[in-house]
Amino acid sequence: MKDSPRLGVNIDHVATLRQARGEFYPSVVEAASVCLLAGADQITIHLREDRRHIQDTDVGAVALVTKKYGKPLNFEMGCHNEIVDIALATGPDWVCLVPEKREERTTEGGLDLLDETNFDKVSQACTKLKAGLPNLKISLFLEASAETLERAAKLPIDAVEIHTGEYAKAFLHGESTESYLGAFRRAQILLKEAGIGCHAGHGLTQESIQPLLQEGLFAEYNVGHWIICQAVFDGLGKVVTTMKESCLQYPLA
């Protein structure tokens, strides 16, 4: 039987709701449990340098939940030394390195590996993480650019998470997505040839994920904001189950 794409659920925005009022609820621990029981393959959290949603204490707590259910923790983070040290202390299964800017609403695009300073910073973070956690897998959040992906292949990484934000916006507004799909196809081929996993994330909804699933473009999807928003109406478990069922309908090539 062929494998189906994995579904990672990002629960950052459960913490966003909690931080809006400074309360102890809603619980990210409970959210992680609900998602895993509903069929999620992993939990993703992003500990930002500005701590706008996930807090330091959440990291260890969510890690315990993923261990309880025998599922991976995917730890999104910038290349800041402080956050690297927290990752090393926590021992997640995956680290996904992403760019961060204080003024951004959310991650606006992939890491710029064409800038030598950025490339060196990412390289140093990868080296330190791999040295401290030999079994750790690392992914980089990148645009589907051949030049960028070729640079990524020079680093000690296990996967690339392709930024799908602009594709998702175009889909939402009824615009043509063929140029994005073409770029994703080329990225998949390039990464496969390099022996690097091809993942996707950012801005995806139950509707916009369908064309990607149908083409078998990605082995893993990390979805957060839409799942948490739709959970207001349908319940978190139901939303996760529905999206996971979609993943199961389209086995990987």
Among 8-12, 109-113, 182-186, the least confident range? 109-113
13, 163, 199, 202: which is the annotated catalytic residue?
Answer: 202
Give me the phi and psi of 83, to 5 degrees please.
Answer: -75, -35
Give the per-residue pLDDT at 106.
53
Strands 94-97 and 159-163 come out as: unpaired
Rounded to an integer, the average pLDDT of 188-215 is 97
Residue 23 catalytic?
no
13, 53, 76, 199: which is the annotated catalytic residue?
Answer: 76
Name the strand (E) or helix (H) holding 181. Answer: helix 178-194
> pLDDT tier at 100 (50, 70, 90 boundaries)?
confident
Residue 199 catalytic?
no
Give the per-residue pLDDT at 2.
72
Residue 163 catalytic?
no
Percent of the chain with pLDDT over 90: 94
Using alpha carbons, list the distances in angstroms from residue 95 to 92, 169, 173, 228: 7, 26, 32, 22
| Closest alpha carbon to 219 in 205, 201, 236 | 201
Give the per-residue pLDDT at 109.
81
Q: For the segment 114-148, what is each residue's pLDDT rounded down to a tens digit?
A: 999 999 999 999 999 999 999 999 999 999 999 99
Give the per-residue pLDDT at 102.
56
pTM of the model: 0.95
Sorted by where each starts, the structural domains of the chain and their CATH numbers stand as 6-248 (3.20.20.70)
Q: For the segment 6-20, what is each residue's pLDDT rounded down to a tens digit?
A: 999 999 999 999 999
46, 53, 163, 199: which is the annotated catalytic residue?
Answer: 46
- Give CA–CA dist 65/35, Å, rounded: 11
